[in-house]
Amino acid sequence: MIDLKLLQKDFDDVSAKLKRKGVDVTLIENLKNKNDELKIAKVNFETFQALQNSMSKEFGAYKREGKDITELKVKVDANKIKITEALDIQRQKQEELEIIALSIPNIPDDSVPDGKDENENVELKKVLTPPNFDFTPKEHWELAEQNGWIDFERGVKLATSRFSVSFGMGARLERALINFMLDFNRARGFNEVSVPSLVNRGALEGTGQLPKFENDLYKMQDQELFLIPTAEVPVTNLYQDEILTEAELPKKMTAYTSCFRKEAGAAGRDTRGMIRQHQFHKVELVTIANPNESEKFFDEMVECASDLLTALELPHRLVNLCTGDLGFGAAYTTDLEVWLPGQNSYREISSISNTRDFQARRAKIRFKDGNKNSFVHTLNGSSLAVGRTLVAIMENNQNEDGSIDIPEVLKPYLGM
RNA sequence: GGAAGAAUGGCUGAGUGGUCGAAAGCGACGGUCUUGAAAACCGUUGUAUCUCACGAUACCCAGGGUUCGAAUCCCUGUUCUUCCUCCA
C-alpha cells in the first residue's frame, strides 16, 4: 500500500510517479479525496463519542448521588443516534478508501525506465557466452521426450493442460537442483524455511496478490484458502503484524515450494513444453531488511541468483524492468534471463524485486527504529525457477545425438 | 469427527458492569551505587489515528448484541489446549 501521508504531502510527485506505471490520475485523486473525507468522518465520530463518554461518567455520578437522570438520559439517547450515524459514515469511507488503496500499485523507483512492455526492459549485463553448436539445437520438449525425462501427455491426463510429469533423470535433476540451490543460498546466509502451500486471504493481501489478482489464483472450494503462486507469500507474511527488534534484521530466508498459477492471461503463450506450467517448483529468496540497507540486500540477492546460474554454467543476462513490465508490488526489479539455444533467445528464470515498504505497510511488518516503530523493507526473488533451469540445462548442454551433459556442480547431488 | 475448557500488554498472570489501557511479577531500557560487573534501590516501558500542543478516540481473539456505560453479560465465528476417535 502506498503511504497515504506521503500522498497527502506530495500529491503531485506521487501521482506523477504512479502515472508512469499507468495508474489513472483520477484514481489517485479519488484516493486523496477519500482520505480527506475519512479524516473528517473520524473527527466527527470521535467528537460525538467523547461527549457520550463524558455523559456516561456523569450518569454514573448521578446514580451514586441519587440525582434524577431522566433529563440526562434524553440527551444521551439523542447523542447515541448521532454516534451511530457518524460511525456508519466513517465505516463506509474506510471501506471505500481500502478498495482504492489496495488496488494501487507501488510507486516505481526513479531508476525504472519508461516502457510499455518487456521489450523495453534495459539490459544491464551479460554473464557467460551462449554456446555455439555445429548442429541445429533442439527445443527442450524434444530433448525431454527423447531422453524420457518429461512426459507432457500424462500430466494432462492426470490434471489438465500445462501440467507435466518428470521421470527418472528428469525427476532426479529437479530434486538435485532444489537441494543445490538451497545449499548454495544457505552458504550465503539465507535461513531455510519450509512453509504451507495454502494460505489465507490476509497473507495474499499482505504481499499484494489480493484483492487485484484473484483470477490468477487457485482457490479452495470449501475454505477461504488459496494455493500459493510463489513462496514469497508465506515467507514474507511470516512476520505479518509483528514489530521486530532492529537486531533481528535482516531476516534472510530461502524456501523451496511448489507454486500454482492459473496463468489466466497467458492463453496461447508457451503452450508447448514446461516454460509455463500451472504447477512448478521454485526456490525463493526473501529478505526483510532495515530500510537503509534494502538496496544493499537487493544487490546481494541479484548476485546470489546470478552466481547460481554461473555455477550451473548457464549463460544469462540481467535486465532492469521497465515501468510496463514491473510487478504490482515492486519499486524496482531486476530479471535474470537465461539463454535458451532452442528458442534462440533469453528467457526469464528469476525476478528480484525490492518492494520497499509497500508490502510491509500492507502486512504491518515493523521494527523498533530507535524509539519509534517503522516499516521494514521487504525483498523477494526467485533463487531460480526449477523447471526453467532444467529447460536451460537441457538446451545448453545438449549434444548432437540428443544426450545431455550434467553440470559438474550437480553431480554430487546425483551420486555421480 | 465427538466432549470439555481456554483466548488479557514482550512473557507469566489478576481483573464478573463505571474512576481499567488494564494490578502484580518477570523481562527490557535508563539512572543511583561500584575500579568494573553482580546484587540492591529509583524511574521508564503496548499499538494506531487525529492535533503545533494540551489532549481526544479506538484496541483486552474477531464480528454482532444488551446497557447511559462492557475486558467483564448474551449470540456467532475463529484459534488453541486436554481427552476420545482417526491418521501421514
Q: How far is the CA of A54 from the C1' of B20 (A)?
A: 16
Q: How far is the CA of A92 from the C1' of B63 (A)?
A: 16
Q: How far is the CA of A109 from the C1' of B50 (A)?
A: 31
Q: How far is the CA of A378 from the C1' of B45 (A)?
A: 28
pLDDT reported for residue A62: 86
Say whether the CB atom of A73 is under 7 angstroms from strand B. Answer: yes
Positions of A marked catalytic: 261, 276, 348, 351, 388
Say whether the CB atom of A364 is under 7 angstroms from strand B. Answer: no
Q: How many other CB atoms are there within 10 angstroms of residue A405's CB atom?
A: 11
Q: Pick out the nucleotide with least CA–C1' distance to A8.
A: B50
- Residues A325-339: tens digit of each pLDDT: 999 999 999 999 999
Per-residue model confidence as pLDDT tens for chain A (416 residues):
899 999 988 999 999 999 999 999 999 999 999 999 999 999 999 999 999 999 998 888 888 777 888 888 888 888 989 999 999 999 999 999 998 999 999 999 999 999 999 999 999 999 999 999 999 999 999 999 999 999 999 999 999 999 999 999 999 999 999 999 999 999 999 999 999 999 999 899 999 999 899 999 999 887 888 999 999 999 999 999 888 888 888 999 999 999 999 998 787 788 888 999 999 999 999 999 999 999 999 999 999 999 999 999 999 999 999 999 999 999 999 999 999 999 999 999 999 999 999 999 999 999 988 778 899 999 999 999 999 999 999 999 999 999 999 999 999 999 99
Say whether the CB atom of A63 is under 7 angstroms from strand B. Answer: yes
Say whether the CB atom of A46 is under 7 angstroms from strand B. Answer: yes
Q: How many other CB atoms are there within 10 angstroms of residue A237's CB atom?
A: 24
pLDDT reported for residue A144: 96
Strand B positions closer than 7 A to protein CB: 18, 47-51, 56-58, 68-69
Say whether the CB atom of A80 is under 7 angstroms from strand B. Answer: yes
Say whether the CB atom of A99 is under 7 angstroms from strand B. Answer: no
pLDDT reported for residue A269: 84
Q: Pick out the nucleotide with least CA–C1' distance to A53.
A: B69
Q: Pick out the nucleotide with least CA–C1' distance to A46.
A: B57
Q: Pick out the nucleotide with least CA–C1' distance to A39.
A: B50
Q: What domains sit in chain A, N to C, each tagged with a CATH number?
A: 4-101 (1.10.287.40), 118-414 (3.30.930.10)
pLDDT reported for residue A207: 95
* Complex ipTM: 0.87
Say whether the CB atom of A39 is under 7 angstroms from strand B. Answer: yes
Say whether the CB atom of A93 is under 7 angstroms from strand B. Answer: no
CA-closest candidate to residue A231, choices A267, A273, A195: A195
A210 in Cβ contact with A201 (< 8 Å): yes
Q: How far is the CA of A54 from the C1' of B53 (A)?
A: 22
pLDDT reported for residue A302: 98
Q: How far is the CA of A39 from the C1' of B55 (A)?
A: 18
Q: How far is the CA of A367 from the C1' of B37 (A)?
A: 31
Say whether the CB atom of A219 is under 7 angstroms from strand B. Answer: no
Say whether the CB atom of A65 is under 7 angstroms from strand B. Answer: no
